[in-house]
């Protein structure tokens, strides 16, 4: 441990383990070359954790991949050096690289579902690096050490798992296997490329904790690449913010979050729903899109989107320079113990300017300004009056049969929705939150009429939908519309936008041709797209623009209710903010009601009036958003709130958080009684025998289904 503690900057600065110097990477495809990295320089001392953060396409993953020479086809290092342990990996031969890969540098990738070989056993895959890099190690010994490694990454029953294949494990367990594979040779450096992005909140937390612990035990350095500011805030010592193939800002983590200097970093923070002053506030957005990088932009790359840009910014490129403020004591070598030390040092960090803080901006955020909050526009404060009940679900059940084919017997049922009752009022946003597999999407599909419930009723505007005739049902469809996570996949790629938007009108027989055209033009105006978009195809639009199209398509028939299923989950923070603002604005203008489904607690908190929390097919808690977030009554809700990565290094270290443990059980065999009991710290015998009744111990309207609801109101969470 001792050698991991403090490493002094200054004359005694340890030699960097990894030193990336002026790295240039081009990605050539058939018709164009993208200058993915354009002069990236980063240093990493032994044992240090560096976070690389940025939006998609900024070059963070390319930086990580180029260290191991794993660039995608067409990718080449066109300039610069990557010094690792005295070797220039950028110029290294294939055998030299192979010797480093998996041996002194381990790598973990994003998607544990696809990054393991489906036809090889776990044991063979974990033992593989040992057999490659440890000369003379026998198969038997390699397997023994692989099993030991699996135990170390918290795999239950490692001996049996060795013989399993990847598909037999859950996503979280597979990522543990991937980590075991990367660490089995005890590397000096671990590169983790979005290691938790494909995972649920609770699994994400467990994996990040695991990486933290292993890093300390094995004393390795780490590069953590992520788009998630919450992840980066709590897990690294130093952060590099990348934009358009360059490092825009680099600092120790607390310094960056407390005092961002680059205008891009500032804007990125401001776009976070967590940073919005209150519900109902407009989120700060960054207009426009990042440059395409097929031609090198002149001047500052952020200038076209920056509200502080001047002529100088557009003509000259700012260099990454050390912050000129009087620096007190250099401390960027702080290593390893950052999360623990963060609590005590948080105040100090705010008081004294962080050192080793570099940024490339001509007009940085001045010192002394309160960051972030200032950028947020004041709330328009239009508390919508709660209207009459529009949608009412009563004991809704949906089960899917489990069978192996036409000749196979039915082997059971998956209980996707296990008796959910709720009501949504006209004009409000009902936020449904839960982890994957909790049934929130199925619930949304039932509400939209895409699935028939197995039992229970859906009442819309006072009418029971099961009683509708075929024609009535068709007519009713227009009143509830869906918005999807992936709008590209939800639109016919061979139809032009105009046709896509007109199609619902044609199906429902609304208006004449001219009227339909007028209506689609108005819709495009409303969602902020040019009218000329009607002649283009969906693939010609960016992710954010497609979500605008998705919203326009949902609104074509002027529905009362829009079911939005993870509409912003695939978007970058700045674009997410645009879409959330747009949804809010249209809600005000058109009196829309939203059923907003998401796994993201911060997004739900920002947008929703009422919140429902689902776990394994059950609604465990529901109520007004502020109340649910401030005084969660169900242990699951509280666990979720404690698990979330808050994008603030100072807040995260605040003691008594109790993150959720374990994994969600299978919906094919849900636990008896309370479905959460297997992971609940308060579970007693009654929880296994009796389904918990719904009660309102806190306030009317704040419902909880728990035998032992949390009594003591706790301090408002930082989310």
Nearer to other proteins, 102 or 158 (CB): 102
Question: Quick check: 107 binds other proteins (CB under 8 A)?
Answer: yes
Residue 503 contacts other proteins per CB under 8 A: no
Nearest to 181 by CA among 115, 111, 119, 118: 115
User: What are residue 557's phi and psi, to 5 degrees?
Assistant: -90, 15
Instruction: Count the neighbouring beta carbons within 10 Å of the beta carbon of residue 353.
Output: 18
| Smallest distance, other proteins to C-beta of residue 127, A | 10
CA angle (29 as vertex; 23, 31 as ends), nearest 5: 125
**Those residues with Cβ within 8 angstroms of residue 504's Cβ, 6 or more apart along the chain or in another chain:** 478, 481, 553, 556, 557
Cβ at position 18, least distance to other proteins in Å: 16
What is the Cα–Cα distance from 639 to 435, expressed in whole angstroms?
Answer: 12
- Neighbouring residues of 232: CB distance < 8 A, sequence distance ≥ 6: 51, 53, 224, 226, 239, 253, 647
Asked if 102 is part of the footprint of other proteins (rule: CB under 8 A), the reply reads: yes
CA distance 618 to 440: 9
Q: Which of residues 227-266 bind other proteins (CB under 8 A)?
A: none
Instruction: Quote the CA–CA distance of 338 and 524 in Å, as a whole number.
Output: 48
Cα 85 to the center of its chain, rounded Å = 33
Q: Encoding tokens for residue 621?
A: 């808690």
* Least CB distance to other proteins at residue 89 (A): 13
User: How, if at all, do strands 480-483 and 561-565 pair?
Assistant: parallel
Q: Residues 54 to 93: which contact other proteins by CB under 8 A?
A: 68, 70
Q: Does 504 participate in binding other proteins (rule CB under 8 A)?
A: no
Position among 56, 157, 168, 542 found at the interface with other proteins (CB under 8 A): 168
User: Judged by CB under 8 A, which of 18, 26, 109, 190 binds other proteins?
Assistant: 109
- The token pair at 22 is 């002026």
d(CA 352, CA 348) in angstroms, rounded, equals 6
Q: Which stretch binds other proteins (CB under 8 A): 10-18, 164-172, 547-555, 616-624?
A: 164-172
From the list 401-409, 416-424, 495-503, 672-680, the region that binds other proteins by CB under 8 A is 401-409
Q: Does 508 bind other proteins (CB under 8 A)?
A: no
Binds other proteins (CB under 8 A): choice among 5, 29, 114, 689:
114
Helix H or strand E segment including 400: strand 389-403
Using rule CB under 8 A, residue 100 touches other proteins? yes
| Cα–Cα distance for residue pair 627/620, rounded to 1 Å | 15
222 is a contact residue toward other proteins (CB under 8 A): no
User: Residue 473 has what DSSP assignment?
Assistant: H
Interface with other proteins, residue 537, by CB under 8 A = no
Residue 115 is a binding residue for other proteins (CB under 8 A): yes
Which CB atom, from 86 or from 118, has the smaller least distance to other proteins? 118
With CB under 8 A as the contact rule, the residue among 50, 182, 534, 602 that binds other proteins is 182
CB 121 within 8 A of CB 164: yes
Q: For 519-573, where are the E strands, in sequence order?
A: 561-565
**Residue 570 engages other proteins in binding (rule: CB under 8 A):** no
Among 21, 85, 88, 128, which residue interacts with other proteins (rule: CB under 8 A)? 128
Q: Enter the DSSP assignment of 166.
A: G
Task: Considering the complex, state which of residue 116 and residue 616 has its C-beta at the smaller distance from other proteins.
Answer: 116
State the nearest-atom distance from the C-beta of 98 to other proteins, in Å: 5
Candidates 126-134, 295-303, 615-623, 655-663; binding stretch for other proteins (CB under 8 A): 126-134
Residue range at the interface with other proteins (CB under 8 A); choices 117-125, 283-291, 485-493, 562-570: 117-125
- β-sheet bridge partners, residue 49: 222
Residue with Cβ nearer other proteins (181 or 604)? 181
Interactions with other proteins, residue window 572-631 (CB under 8 A): none
How many residues of this chain bind other proteins (CB under 8 A)? 35
Q: Does 136 bind other proteins (CB under 8 A)?
A: no
Element (H, E) at 611: strand 610-615
- Which DSSP symbol is given to 427? T
Stretch that binds other proteins, among 38-46, 79-87, 111-119, 255-263 (CB under 8 A): 111-119
Q: Which listed range, 112-120, 143-151, 619-627, 638-646, lies at the site for other proteins (CB under 8 A)?
A: 112-120
Which ranges in 17-104 belong to alpha helices (H)?
A: 60-67, 94-100
Q: Is 165 one of the binding residues for other proteins (CB under 8 A)?
A: yes
Does 119 participate in binding other proteins (rule CB under 8 A)? yes
121 near 127, Cβ under 8 Å? no
Report the C-alpha gap between 9 and 1 in whole angstroms. 19
Site for other proteins contains 407 (CB under 8 A)? yes
Binding site for other proteins (CB under 8 A): 68, 70, 94-95, 97-103, 106-107, 109, 111, 114-120, 128-129, 132-133, 165, 167-168, 178, 181-182, 404, 407-408
């Amino acid at each position: 441990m001792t050698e991991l503690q403090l490493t002094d900057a200054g004359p005694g600065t340890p030699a960097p383990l990894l030193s990336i110097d002026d790295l240039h990477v081009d990605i050539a495809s058939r018709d164009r070359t993208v200058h993915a990295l354009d002069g990236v320089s980063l240093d990493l001392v032994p044992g240090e954790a560096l976070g690389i953060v940025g939006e998609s396409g900024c070059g963070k993953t390319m930086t990580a991949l180029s260290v191991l020479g794993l660039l995608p086809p067409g990718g080449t290092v066109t300039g610069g050096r990557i010094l690792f342990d005295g070797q220039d990996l950028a110029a290294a031969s294939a055998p030299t690289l192979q010797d480093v890969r998996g041996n002194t540098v381990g790598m973990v990738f994003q998607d544990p579902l696809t990054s393991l070989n489906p036809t090889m056993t776990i044991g063979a895959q974990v033992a593989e690096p040992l057999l490659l890099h440890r000369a003379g190690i026998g198969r038997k010994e390699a397997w023994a050490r692989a099993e030991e490694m699996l135990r170390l990454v918290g795999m239950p029953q490692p001996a049996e798992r060795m013989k399993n294949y990847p598909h037999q494990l859950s996503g979280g367990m597979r990522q543990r296997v991937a980590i075991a594979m990367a660490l089995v040779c005890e590397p000096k450096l671990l590169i983790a490329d979005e290691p938790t992005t494909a995972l649920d909140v609770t699994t994400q937390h467990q994996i990040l904790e695991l990486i933290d612990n292993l890093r300390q035990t094995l004393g390795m350095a780490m590069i953590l690449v992520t788009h998630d500011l919450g992840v980066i805030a709590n897990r690294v010592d130093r952060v590099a913010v990348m934009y358009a193939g360059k490092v825009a800002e680099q600092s120790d983590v607390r310094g960056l979050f407390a005092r961002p200097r680059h205008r891009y970093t500032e804007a990125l923070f401001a776009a976070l729903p967590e940073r919005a002053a209150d519900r109902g506030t407009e989120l700060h957005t960054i207009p426009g899109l990042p440059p395409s990088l097929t031609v090198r932009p002149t001047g500052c790359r952020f200038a076209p989107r920056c509200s502080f840009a001047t002529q100088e910014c557009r003509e000259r490129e700012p260099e990454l320079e050390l912050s000129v403020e009087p620096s007190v004591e250099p401390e960027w070598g702080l290593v390893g113990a950052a999360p623990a030390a963060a609590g005590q040092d948080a105040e100090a960090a705010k008081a004294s300017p962080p050192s080793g803080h570099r940024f490339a901006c001509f007009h940085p955020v001045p010192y002394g300004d309160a960051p972030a909050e200032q950028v947020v526009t004041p709330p328009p404060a239009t508390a919508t009056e709660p209207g009459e009940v529009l949608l009412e679900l009563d004991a809704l059940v949906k089960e899917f049969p489990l069978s192996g084919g036409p000749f196979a017997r039915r082997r059971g049922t998956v209980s996707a929705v296990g008796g959910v009752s709720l009501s949504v009022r006209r004009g409000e946003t009902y936020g449904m939150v839960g982890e994957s597999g909790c049934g929130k999407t199925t619930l949304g599909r039932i509400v939209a009429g895409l699935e028939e419930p197995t039992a229970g009723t859906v009442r819309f505007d006072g009418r029971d939908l099961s009683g509708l005739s075929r024609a009535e049902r068709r007519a009713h469809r227009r009143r509830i519309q869906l918005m999807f996570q992936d709008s590209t996949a939800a639109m016919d790629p061979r139809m032009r936008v105009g046709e896509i938007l007109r199609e619902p009108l044609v199906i429902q027989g609304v208006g004449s041709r001219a009227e339909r055209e007028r209506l689609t033009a108005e819709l495009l105006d409303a969602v902020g797209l040019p009218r000329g978009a009607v002649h283009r195809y969906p693939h010609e639009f960016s992710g954010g623009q497609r979500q605008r199209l998705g919203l326009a398509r949902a609104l074509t028939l002027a529905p009362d209710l829009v079911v939005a299923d993870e509409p912003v989950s695939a978007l970058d923070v700045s674009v997410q903010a645009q879409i959330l603002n747009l949804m809010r604005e249209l809600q005000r203008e058109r009196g829309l009601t939203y059923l907003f489904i998401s796994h993201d607690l911060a997004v739900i908190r920002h947008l929703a009036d009422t919140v429902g929390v689902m776990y394994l097919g059950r609604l465990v808690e529901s109520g007004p958003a502020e109340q649910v977030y401030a005084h969660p009554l169900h242990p699951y809700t509280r666990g979720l709130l404690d698990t979330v990565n808050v994008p603030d290094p100072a807040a995260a270290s605040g003691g008594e958080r109790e993150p959720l443990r374990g994994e969600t059980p299978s919906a094919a065999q849900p636990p008896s009684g309370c479905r959460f009991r297997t992971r609940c710290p308060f579970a007693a015998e009654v929880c296994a025998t009796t389904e918990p009744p719904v009660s309102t111990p806190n306030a009317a309207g704040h419902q909880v289904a728990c035998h032992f609801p949390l009594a003591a109101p706790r301090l408002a969470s930082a989310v």
